[in-house]
A and B are shown apart, each in its own frame.
Chain A
Amino acid sequence: MKSYDVIVIGAGHNGMIAAATLSRKGLGVLLLEASPTYGGMAAGGEFAPGYAGPSLVHSLNGITPAILKEMQLDKFGLAPLPTMTTCLSHDDAPLLVADNYQIAAGILSREDEVGLAELTRRLKFQASILQQFLADTPPQEGAFPFSMKARLAKTAFNLKRSGKIEMQEFMRMALMCICDVVDEHISDERLKGLLAFDGTLGISLGPRSPTSLFGLYMRLATRSAGADHTNGYSINAAGRLIDAIYESTKAAGVEFGFGRKVRAINVNNGLAGSVETTDGETYSAGSIVSAIHPATTFLSFVGAPKLDTGFSREISSVRSRGNVSKLNLVLDRFPHIASIGGSGEGRYVLAPSANEVERNFNPSKYGELPDAPCFEFVIGKGDRDTVYLSAIIQNTPLNLKQGWESGSKRLQDLVVNCLERLAPGIKSSIVATRFFSPLDIESNFNVPGGHWHHGELQVDRLFSLRPVFGAANYRSPIDNLYICGAGTHPGGGLSGMSGLNVARALIRDKGRGGK
């Protein structure tokens, strides 16, 4: 039986960041990965059969400077990425929206320009309050450090200093729905549609659901916490970043075990001591860091009998039913979007109005597909002089009543027909296609429910409550077992903070040397 200081399970970006950070502290780290390659959901591989490229991710959002430094990613060429979004609709003119919802002067009505300025200023301010907590380790029972109390006090003070009106507006708006907030400020349907889409993408809420504004806060906060040039839309940016993280992890001395699927984490007397893989190997370690879905970690690997009843009940109540599908199209030329008169690299969103996004959300509640899907797509240059169109389709529920066998075909047809309406001729330019339903994401990437965030990123599952109270500070009720990944604070995306935080927590617990 091989023995290590630390075993990390899952070579997604968080797992690699945790492994590299620990290894650099002088610990012997083994990183076990079920699939034959690194990167998890952000992995490169096949964009479509026969065409190389990332399968799922087409944007970067907010790699923090701390991660860049820790992972020595300065060699990773950070170039500005396209951040412009083009809002499309079938009946309306397209609308160009820059990062942070800036729109060139003279396009919106005078009232909307004023309203939008106030709305974005307010959202940015409110998101900045939450942003201060993104990099933190959430407090837990018996672990409420002075630094956290001081930060809370400082936040309260800053809020107070911002003036009565801003303070009132923050406390009023924080848990509101997107529709009500945007309606109070602007009237342009396309812009409202974009805000509604952005705030609800990847979670099971509609823009009329109370608390949906939090989705926008999270998006704005993660982005503004990121280092320069770490936000934007590009087919290859995430893939290049993952490659850089992998190189850095290898250079840090981490031993990789690809194709080793974990079967169990052995727990004796409340102590995690070793990991068993499906090929029958057992690896022992002083500490185990699980960078995969919390439900897999606790319910499959540890097993409910080894857990407190209340805790395992909480873990099984983590809502993790994916709601997003992915469609990759390889085209032989750039599509000709009629309303623009062409197309270029960048992001396009089809969410004509906030009400349309809400209508889109309705059938997903009952396991049905929308009639007119809302989706975003990123266009970029692909392999061998092709053009890649990478689409993320909202509100496509995991538990589809008609089943994904027939549903996949139907949804693809819906999306492709929709694209054909926007860009006549696009159908005939398709040379290859790849589609992932939430069910496909579940089976291809070992993510229960195929949920991009490893569990709903909603207010009742944030910070100290993510994944559940009792395991939110990257530690778990099982000694020596640590968790990180999208299922923990600060959630999904590519920030990498949970990987760094779990490494720090482990080193703090085990003393300077970490052993």
Chain B
Amino acid sequence: MAAIKNNIQASYDVIVIGAGHNGLVNACYLQRAGLKVLVVEKNDWIGGAAVSRELTPGFIYSNCSYVCSLFRPEIMRDLELPKYGLQIIGYEGGAVFTRDGDFLASYRNHHAHRREFARHNIRDGEAYERYSRDVTRQCRFIQPLLMRTAPDPTSLKPRDLGELMFLARKFTEMTPGEMAKTLRFWTMSISDFLDEYFESDVIKANLAISGIIGTALGPMSPGTAYVLLHHYMGEVDGSVGAWGYARGGMGAITQALTQSFKASGGAIVTDAEVAGVIVRNGRATGVTLANGDQYDARTIVSNADVKRTFLKLVDENELPGRFVKQVRNFKMRGSSGKVNIALDSLPEFPALPKNSPCIKGDMHFTDSIERMERGYDDWKAGRWSADPFLDMMIPTTMDPTMAPPGKHFMSCFVQYCPPKLHTGEWTDADRDAFGQTVINQIADYSPGFKDRIIHMEVRTPRELEAEVGLTEGNIFQGELTFDQLLFNRPVPGYAQYRSPISGLYICGSSTHPGGGVMGAPGRNAALEILHDLSRNNEHVSKAHEVI
């Protein structure tokens, strides 16, 4: 700590609030442009929701985000993250366990995957070809938009018109039939979309997973087909749609970013909660910390979500009334919790064949869309799902660095879990009961599971908000519905990373293109800031088309 503090000077070119992955990406790019950048982080650790934490001796927990795919390879390369220790290991396998004792396996190999579908339903095996082709086509349309600032459709500035033209051109590059499909895809529920391809309940449940993760919508809600896309447009080592583990836990990403940032001369101060952004004459001039310290800079970038930034860190009187109302109306609804477990030994799943690779990937116990949707109904009523959906991983099956030999770390992402219960705020007893619901579900499919548990951490939206700072515990810093995407994200009129206060920017997942450990918002915001400061941006790679 002391060593870091020595680096600090009272005045900087840029202050980034929050050392999450987007804040760090933003800081790296700005520092590399020759600006003097300081990152201030409220916790005494770095990483926001992309962290590796040793919560019990010998076990490293990815206790928030837990898998990686969306992180843009252009950013990895620009910031030389592999050089600073980042390694993403693509994982093979995954399974949905069914209530009749069978399972549906996932494989990275397309043909193996198709054969597994065919084992459950021969027609679904064929439909999978059609489905993959159609979804890839949708990815191809959306992916180029990730690394661009969304145009303001109400503006007549040449740049906005140009970007609108780009969007229109991308759209019209498709055949009319494909355009029709795209329009439908964007407005459909994942359930309806899958019904057009598949018959088997478990296959549909398997594919619907990406449509609901992180969102406060059920698989039968229109708009969830888009959420699926959001989870499909990533890649691991050029393998599009693949997911992987960050070696050493998800904190490896933010650690590598930190190393890269420091190597180019950047400074970070931790345990430094920002109390407010100082605004003078409509211009941001610095930040004050909760401990009374003050740092000055002409550019302030907030990695915090849009509600926290403008409703807590900025004096409301400095903002236009309509903007404040818009921010209040921004939907951030926590829908998920997390149960992180240290295990004495590898759990057994009798449904799986011995040495099946499925245990290395994402495992689930929800074998029908109806069960997922019922989980969502619980959430709407202010209860955690009685029969929750789990996205369960054991990263130590591939990464031995996260647990002592023979022991394992298990990450369970749990949906649905409301930010507030119908009985009121969360209590510790509620949290424990929620954790028990999850453990019971796993134990139903894995005999002796409970005896293997050494340590367990249960996180509800309450904990996510308190520790990471995500309002209502929403992991995407805001719902990914149409009214909050592209030029509507976070709010219409301020979708280009700027705010009504000059010199104050936002760069978190509340901005386009949204959540996931992607880094694109941080990078895009950096480009806008460099533009405003008339700085060179040659070190920021353009997006390259991959698909």
Report which A residues bind B (CB closer than 8 A).
140-142, 160, 164-165, 167-169, 171-176, 180, 184, 205, 208-211, 313, 317, 319, 358-359, 362, 365-366, 458-461, 464-465, 469-470
Residue of B222, B322, B488, B492 near A460 (CB, 8 A) is: B222
What residue in chain A is nearest B220 (Cβ atoms)? A365
For the complex, give the distance between the alpha carbons of A313 and B123 in Å.
Answer: 14
Q: List residues of chain A with CB within 8 A of the CB of B377.
A: 362
> Of A173, A313, A460, A470, which is within 8 A of B187 by CB?
A460
- B75 → A minimal CB distance (Å): 29
Interface presence of B223 (CB below 8 A)? yes
**Contact A209/B222 with A171-B487, A459-B187 known, Cβ cut-off 8 Å:** yes
Say if the beta carbon of B93 comes within 8 Å of chain A.
no
Please determine whether A317 and B196 come into contact, CB atoms closer than 8 angstroms: yes
B235 at the interface (CB under 8 A from A): no
Q: Judge whether B184 and A168 touch: CB under 8 Å.
A: no
Which of the residues A165, A209, A319, A460 comes within 8 Å of B221, measured between beta carbons? A209
Q: Kindly provide the distance from the CB of A179 to the nearest chain B CB, expressed in whole angstroms.
A: 10
Known: A168-B493, A171-B153, A175-B223. A469 touches B483 (CB 8 A): no
Classify the secondary structure of B's interface with A: helix
C-alpha gap A460/B221 in the complex (Å): 13
Most chain B CB neighbours (cut-off 10 Å) among A173, A365, A464, A465: A365
The answer for the CA separation of A178 and B322 in the assembled complex, in Å, is 21
Which of B175-183, B286-294, B302-310, B386-394 contacts the other chain? B175-183
* A184/B223 in contact, CB under 8 A: no
Chain B residues within 8 Å of A366, by CB: 370, 373-374
Contact A208 B380 (CB under 8 A): yes
17 A/B residue pairs, CB under 8 Å, sorted by A: A167-B154, A171-B492, A172-B492, A174-B482, A175-B187, A175-B222, A175-B481, A176-B481, A209-B220, A210-B223, A211-B222, A317-B196, A359-B381, A365-B373, A469-B176, A469-B180, A469-B181
Residues of A within 8 A of B423 (CB): none
Asked if B523 lies at the interface with its beta carbon under 8 angstroms from chain A, I say no
Provided the pairs A165-B322, A167-B153, A184-B329 are in contact, do residues A469 and B482 lie with their beta carbons within 8 angstroms?
Answer: no
Query: Across chains A and B, which 6 residue pairs bring their CB atoms closest together, nearest first?
Result: A469-B180, A168-B492, A141-B176, A175-B482, A210-B223, A460-B184
**A172/B488 in contact, CB under 8 A:** yes
Q: Is B463 an interface residue (CB 8 A)?
A: no
Contact assessment for B217 and A210 in the assembled complex, using a CB-CB cutoff below 8 Å: yes
CA distance A123 to B329 in the complex (A): 17
| Complex CA–CA separation, A140 to B483 (angstroms) | 27
Instruction: Given A171-B153, A210-B482, A365-B220, output 5 extra A-B contacts at Cβ < 8 Å.
Output: A141-B177, A209-B220, A209-B221, A211-B223, A458-B222
Inter-chain CA distance A365–B221, complex, in Å, is 11
List the A side residues contacting B329 at CB < 8 Å: 184
From known contacts A180-B331, A460-B187, A460-B188, infer whether A172 and B483 are also in contact, taking CB-CB under 8 Å.
yes
Within B318-377, the residues touching A (CB, 8 Å) are 322, 329, 331, 370, 373-374, 377
In the complex where A176-B483, A465-B183 touch, is A358 in contact with B380 (Cβ < 8 A)? yes
Shortest CB distance B227–A (Å):
11
Among residues of B, the one whose C-beta sits closest to the C-beta of A319 is: B192
Known: A184-B329, A464-B180. Contact between A168 and B154, CB under 8 A?
A: yes
User: Does B129 sit at the interface, judged by CB under 8 A?
Assistant: no
A398 to chain B, nearest CB (A): 15
Given contacts A173-B483, A176-B483, A366-B370, whether A164 and B222 have CB atoms under 8 Å apart is no
B177 partner residues in chain A, CB cutoff 8 A:
141, 469-470
Contacts of B180 in A (CB 8 A): 464-465, 469
Say whether, besides A358-B380, A459-B187, A164 and B220 are in contact (CB < 8 Å): no
The CA of A167 and the CA of B493, in the complex, are separated in Å by 10
- Interface range, B side: 35 or more
Which residue on A lies nearest to B224, using beta carbons?
Answer: A210
Closest B residue, CB atoms, query A468: B180
Query: Is B195's beta carbon under 8 Å from chain A?
Result: yes
In the complex, the answer to whether A210 meets B481 with C-beta atoms within 8 Å is: yes
Contacts of B189 in A (CB 8 A): 209
Report the separation of the CA atoms of residues A469 and B177 in the bound assembly, to the nearest whole angstrom. Answer: 7
Name the distance in Å between B242's Cβ and chain A's nearest Cβ.
Answer: 29
**How far is the CB of B221 from the nearest CB of chain A, in Å?**
5
Tell me, in angstroms, the Cα distance from A158 to B249 when the chains sit together: 53
Chain B 165-197 against A: per-residue CB contact (8 Å), 1 yes, 0 no? 000000000011100110110011100100110
What B residues does A365 contact at CB under 8 A? Answer: 220, 370, 373
Chain B residues whose C-beta falls within 8 Å of the C-beta of A164 in the assembled complex:
154, 493
B490-511: CB near A (< 8 Å → 1, else 0) gives 0011000000000000000000
A461 contact set on B, CB distance < 8 A = 184
Q: Name the CB-closest residue of B to A458.
A: B222
* Cα–Cα distance between A486 and B153 once the two chains are bound (Å): 34
Q: Give the CA-CA distance A197 to B465 in the complex, in Å.
A: 35
Residues of B within 8 A of A165 (CB): 322
| Shortest Cβ gap from A140 to chain B (Å) | 8
What's the minimum C-beta distance from A65 to chain B, rounded to whole angstroms?
A: 31
A171 with B488, Cβ < 8 A, contacts A184-B329, A366-B374, A465-B183 known: yes
Which of A205, A209, A470 has the most C-beta atoms of chain B within 10 angstroms of its own C-beta?
Answer: A209
Q: In chain B, what residue has the closest Cβ to A463? A: B183
Q: Once bound together, how far apart are the Cα atoms of A180 and B195, in whole Å?
A: 27
The answer for the CA separation of A180 and B373 in the assembled complex, in Å, is 20
Chain B contacts for A174, CB-based, 8 A: 482
In the bound complex, CA of A168 to CA of B154 (Å): 7
Q: Give the residues in chain A near B374, CB-CB below 8 Å.
A: 366
Q: Report B220 CB to chain A, min CB distance, Å.
A: 6
Chain B residues closer than 8 Å to A358, beta-carbon distance? 380
Which residues of chain A come closer than 8 Å to B196, judged between CB atoms? 313, 317
Closest to A160 in B: B154
Binary A-proximity of B193-221 (CB < 8 A = 1, otherwise 0): 00110000000000000000000010011
Contact A175 B483 (CB under 8 A): yes
Q: Once the chains are docked, how many angstroms separate the CA of A464 from the CA of B183?
A: 10
Q: Which chain A residues border B482 with CB–CB below 8 Å?
A: 174-176, 210
Q: With a CB–CB cut-off of 8 A, which chain A residues contact B175?
A: 141
Query: Which residues of the other chain, A, contact B493 by a CB distance below 8 angstroms?
Result: 164, 168
- Minimum CB–CB distance for A409 against chain B, Å: 25
Whether A205 contacts B492 by the Cβ 8 Å rule is no
**In the complex, A351→B154 CA distance in Å?**
38
By a CB distance below 8 angstroms, the chain A residues around B221 are 208-210
In the complex, what distance in Å separates the CA atom of A43 from the CA atom of B403? 72
- Bound: A459/B185 CA distance, A: 10
Which chain B residues lie closer than 8 Å to A172 at the CB level? 483, 488, 492
- Chain B residues with Cβ below 8 Å from A176 are 481-483
State A326–B263 Cα separation when bound (angstroms): 72
- Give the CA-CA distance A256 to B200 in the complex, in Å: 46
- With A and B bound together, what is the CA distance between A362 and B176 in angstroms? 36
A468 to B390, CA, bound (A): 36
- The residues of B that contact A359 with a CB separation of less than 8 Å are 381
**Interface hits, B79-102 → A, CB 8 Å:** none
Q: Which residue on A lies nearest to B381, using beta carbons?
A: A359
CA distance A495 to B176 in the complex (A): 28
* Distance of B198 from chain A, by nearest CB (Å): 12
Q: Which residues of A contact B187 (CB under 8 A)?
A: 175, 211, 458-460
**A residues less than 8 Å from B188 (CB atoms):** 460
Closest to A313 in B: B196
- Contacts of B206-258 to chain A: CB distance below 8 A: 217, 220-223
Query: In the complex, A169→B483 CA distance in Å?
Result: 9
By beta carbon, the residue of chain B nearest A175 is: B482
- Closest residue of A by beta carbon distance from B488: A172
Shortest Cβ gap from A85 to chain B (Å): 26
| Alpha-carbon separation in the docked complex, A211 to B184 (Å) | 12
A469 vs B178: C-alpha distance when bound (angstroms): 10
CA gap between A205 and B224 in the complex, in Å: 14
Asked if A205 and B184 make an inter-chain contact with CB atoms under 8 angstroms apart, the answer reads: no
CA gap between A205 and B223 in the complex, in Å: 12
Q: How far is the CA of A174 from the CA of B483 in the complex (A)?
A: 8
List B469-498 residues whose CB lies under 8 Å from chain A.
481-483, 487-488, 492-493
Q: Mark B133-161, 1 if CB is under 8 A from A, else 0.
A: 00000000000000000000110000000
